[in-house]
Structure formats: C-alpha cells, structure tokens
Amino acid sequence: MGRVTEVKDALIRGEPRRGARSPQVPQPSLSPYAPAMDVPLSVKGFTAMRVGAGLVAVVAPSVLARFFGLSPTEARTPFATSTGTFFGVRELVLAALTVGAAGSEPRALRRLLVANAATDGLDVVVLGVKALRQPALRRGLVLFGPGAALSVVLHLRAAHRVEVGP
C-alpha cells in the first residue's frame, strides 16, 4: 500500500507519474483576444501589398502616377507627386492600423477590416467615375480595379468572421 500512497501524494503535489506523457500546456498569448483574432492569410497578404504600394507611392510617386496612365511629364508635376505621396501615407497608415488591430479588441478589428474594404471600394468607384471622363485613367482602373474589388470582398468576409461578444 505504500506505493499507492506515494503515487497519490506525488499527484497531489503536481508531480507527473513516471513514464507518463507530460500534458501539453497552451502557450500564453500576447493578447487576451488572440483566439478570436485569427486574421486570414488573404487579409495579411493584402496588408503586405498595401505596405508595398504605400512605399512605392512615398518613395517614387511618379512611378505610381505612370501606372495610372499619366504621361511622364504629367507624372512629375508637383500635384501628381504630392497626390501620390498622400496616397502612400494613407496606405501605410491603414496597413499599420490593421496589423495593430489584430491583437486588440474584436470590435476594433472588425471596424478596421470594414474601413479597409470601404477605402478600396471607394477607390474603385472614384477611379471608375474619373476613367469615364479621362480615358488615360482606364489603365489604372484595369490594373488596380480587380485587386481592389477582391480586397473589398476578402476584408468584408474577414470582418464578418470576427467573433464579437454580446
């Protein structure tokens, strides 16, 4: 009976039995909301693309202007370069906020995902309206429109999946 008492006492003290597998201990999370904050890989990918576009727009705004169909001369005007830089800053801020919201309260993440979708959706609408009046912008609509539309769908889908408590 001594062996049974030893095993019982060892279990009470929290010591593992000899030969027993150690239990899997869950790793602590950096955020209390982490289980509900699993941001889909597609949103992470669009966030990375947002960072890339933002960096290009800040560092070389005339390159971005050329993608949208402006001539080399038009792309180097102060207005075009300033607008490109503003666009780049906006993209970088949205990306930083999205990354930061992944470890925060679920409602904040949901709002930010919807804000990303709204930003990309409105970009396509505005670019589409402008392209009707300025055929040179159609190239930008063709290049960026489908990606922005996909971004809207994926961000809204991710926002819908974020579990928000009562």
Helices (H) and strands (E) in the chain, counts: 7, 0
Contacts for 123 with CB less than 8 Å, ≥ 6 apart: 144, 148
**C-alpha to C-alpha distance for 166 and 106, rounded to whole angstroms:** 11
Residue 142 confidence (pLDDT): 86
Give residue 32's pLDDT.
42
Q: Phi and psi for 141 in degrees, rounded to 5?
A: -65, -40
CA distance 114 to 83: 24
In this structure, what is the dihedral angle of CA atoms 129, 143, 124, 127, given to the nearest 10 degrees?
A: -30
Q: Which two tokens stand for residue 146?
A: 């489908």
Is the pTM higher than 0.75? Answer: no
**For residue 30, what pLDDT is reported?**
40
Mean pLDDT by 10 residues, the chain (166 residues): 68 63 47 50 84 92 85 90 92 90 81 92 91 84 87 90 75
Amino acid 133 reads R
Neighbouring C-alpha atoms within 13 Å toward the C-beta of 54: 14
Residue 161 to residue 110: CA distance in whole angstroms: 9
